Amino acid sequence: SDVLLDITDLKTYFFTENGVSKAVDGVDFQVHKGETLAIVGESGCGKSVTAMSILQILDKAVGRIVGGRILLEGTNLLELSNREIRRIRGKEISMIFQEPMTSLNPVFTIGNQISEAILVHQRIAKSAAWDEAQRLLSLVGIPSPERTMRDYPHQLSGGMRQRAMIAMALSCNPKLLIADEPTTALDVTIQAQVMELIDSVKTQFGMSVLLITHDLGVVAESADRVVVMYAGKVVEQGEVGAIFENALHPYTQGLLQSMPRLDEDQPIGDLPEIAGMVPMANDRPEGCYFHPRCPKAMDICRQQMPELTTHGETRDVRCWLYTPEASNEH
Ligand code: SF4
Ligand code: MG
């Protein structure tokens, strides 16, 4: 099958003094082999928690996966032992973050960290691991890999650190690379270079990429398909070109309208924004979670949550505007 990762009805809740927060509230999507799938939404939509749930790196004191299935080539990751999931994390799925300093250890050199990562999974000599690490640094476009091997993370620029992080992520030859806002902390020109790098290593390593981003510009440039999340739920998903051409869900439409366009010389401050805020995960409205912000809200929207329904071959949308029940109302 061409499905690498198959997520069904994933629910990740946070149990806090202020009650239960349904951060991920019944999410379904698939990542196909060789594709880049983007998850997009404003902050607080549950996209990072979805990514952390796949790798089971949630803060266990408060966060728990309470339901669903995460199949990696047929194996349910939620049924694995801690030891087995650690193996998946190092060998099948790698993750890179917005700020590489959070995953690079400041007291070890880049060379040390990448070769250690290699040695965890390969029975090879230390010197061979060192050579392999240096090869990976050169593969990710670091100009003087031999010198960078001996550098500490703080000695690198943000862009070079992200490249080093990508080299480390590649060291286990993963099937899936999860990239959570990988370019958000970088300058615009560096952002484009890092996204190009991710795209090129995806092809070279035959991986799939799950890209978490709030930036539709990045989605347009880099992703094949996109999942739009709002308040812990998928509200629309489909092929990137088709969604940019004809977004169905009012939230997706709002995101697109508030996206800066390169071909228009428009100051960012003049862009329309979606009025209002994502509701807190422990304080969501009745009905469609988007209705307080939706310019097209109808009576039924305030009462009942719409289902995710399929439109055409490749599009899903969760909105009463596209469900037959709603048409009885008018
Ligand atoms: Fe807007 Fe109603 Fe659709 Fe929700 S279901 S997005 S409120 S039209
Ligand atoms: Mg995030």
- Which tens digit of pLDDT belongs to each residue from 293-320? 999 999 999 999 999 999 988 999 999 9
In eight-state DSSP terms, residue 125 is -
321 lines ligand 1 (CB under 6 A): yes
Test site for ligand 1: of 291, 299, 309, 322, most ligand atoms within 8 A of the Cβ? 291
The tens digit of pLDDT for each residue in 184-241 reads: 888 888 899 999 999 999 999 999 999 999 989 999 999 999 999 999 999 999 999 9
Q: Which atom of ligand 1 is nearest to the CA of 289?
A: 4
pTM: 0.93
Centroid of ligand 1 to alpha carbon of 216 (angstroms): 21
Distance 293 CA to ligand 1 centre (A): 9
Of the bound ligands, which one is closest to the alpha carbon of residue 52?
Answer: 2
Question: Does the CA dihedral 282-286-287-293 come out positive or negative?
Answer: negative
ipTM: 0.94
Decide whether any atom of ligand 1 lies within 6 Å of the 306 Cβ: yes
The CATH code of the domain at 3-92+178-189+200-283 is: 3.40.50.300
CA 203, 208, 211, 215 torsion: positive or negative?
positive
Which letter, b or e, does each residue of 96-117 get, where b requires 16 or more Cβ atoms within 10 Å of its Cβ? bbbbbbeebeeeebbbbbbbbb
Q: Which of 310, 289, 161 lies closest to 238 in space, CA to CA?
A: 310
Q: Which atom of ligand 1 is nearest to the CA of 298?
A: 2
Q: Beta partners for 17?
A: none
Residue 303 Cα to ligand 1 midpoint, Å, equals 11
